[in-house]
């Protein structure tokens, strides 16, 4: 089973990137799991426009290859991102905007008239770094990327297996947190290998209308 791990911070080797590296080490403990890590900024992805709403453009062949593989090859998707102004870095937001051409099926609508999500085969996990302490993130969870990422990937009908936030701005050298990332990675990969579905919260509260 192949899992795609995307590092989305422009700062390589810093917090969310290092969280991802430890998560990957944990995943690799599980037999039958293959992981591929990429840096999102290495892939040219043009801004979303009406013209490119249905497919990648000729100028972005790597993006086309990646989306083909996300459709057919990967069973898991791990996104590691910093928090930027209560949201994610612009290139990650654009990536999520651009994948809607295959993440949503516009020929099928639910009772609210929304297109149906098509990512039912993808088990997702989100690693998020931020400058806000963990206790404050617990209270203001809706102002952080994991809340939004969970919501949008559930809208795409993906399985959301979990998220992990670190508010230490020196996470990249915090062994306690990195150890937790390792353990979370192993647990996540075990669930992917055992073909488990997402958790009770996602099943009850986060369920998008199209799978009700
Ligand atoms: C442009 C910018 C905006 C930021 N906005 C937030 C924010 O809204 N909330 C927050 O908790 N931290 C914010 N931060 C702090 C980063 O999320 C934090 O330093 C994080 O650990 C960086 O992760 P990285 O090393 O993976 O890039 C911001 C940092 C930058 C550079």
Cα atoms in the 13 Å half-sphere on the side-chain side of 140: 14
The DSSP output letter for 150 is H
- What's the domain range around 35? 2-211
- Percent of the chain at pLDDT > 70 equals 96
- Which residues surround ligand 1 with Cβ inside 6 Å? 9, 11, 14-17, 82-86, 129-132, 169
Q: Which ligand 1 atom lies nearest to the CA of residue 166?
A: 21
- Kindly report, residue by residue over 27-41, the tens digit of the pLDDT: 999 999 999 999 999
3-state helix, strand, coil in the chain (%, to 5): 45, 20, 35
* Number of compact structural domains in the chain: 1
Number of Cβ atoms within 10 Å of the Cβ of 1: 16
**The model's pTM:** 0.95
CA 88 to chain centre: 11
Residue 80 alpha carbon to ligand 1 centre in Å? 13
91-121 residues labelled b (16+ CB within 10 A) or e (exposed): bbbbbbebbbebbbeeeeeeeeeebbbbbee
Q: Which ligand 1 atom lies nearest to the CA of residue 137?
A: 11
- Kindly report, residue by residue over 88-112, the tens digit of the pLDDT: 999 999 999 999 999 999 999 887 8
Residue 208 alpha carbon to ligand 1 centre in Å? 29
Domain of residue 175, CATH code: 3.40.50.360
Q: Is 186 helix (H, G, I), strand (E, B) or coil?
A: helix
């Amino acid at each position: 089973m192949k899992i795609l791990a995307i590092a989305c911070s422009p700062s390589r080797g810093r917090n969310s990137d290092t969280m991802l590296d430890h998560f990957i080490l944990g995943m690799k403990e599980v037999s039958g799991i293959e992981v591929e890590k990429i840096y999102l900024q290495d892939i040219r992805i043009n801004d979303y426009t009406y013209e490119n709403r249905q497919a990648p453009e000729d100028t972005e062949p790597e993006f086309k290859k990646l989306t083909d593989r996300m459709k057919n090859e990967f069973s898991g998707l791990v996104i590691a991102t910093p928090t930027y102004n209560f949201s994610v870095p612009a290139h990650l937001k654009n990536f999520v905007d651009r994948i809607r051409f295959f993440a949503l099926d516009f020929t099928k609508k639910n009772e609210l008239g929304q297109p149906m999500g098509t990512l039912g085969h993808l088990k997702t996990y989100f690693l998020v770094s931020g400058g806000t302490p963990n206790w404050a993130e617990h209270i203001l969870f809706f102002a952080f990327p994991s809340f939004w990422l969970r919501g949008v990937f559930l809208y795409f009908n993906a399985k959301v297996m979990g998220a992990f936030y670190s508010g230490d701005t020196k996470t990249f050298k915090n062994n306690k947190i990195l150890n937790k990332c390792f353990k979370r990675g192993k647990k996540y990969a075990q669930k992917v290998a055992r073909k488990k579905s997402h958790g009770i919260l996602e099943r009850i509260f986060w369920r998008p209308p199209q799978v009700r």
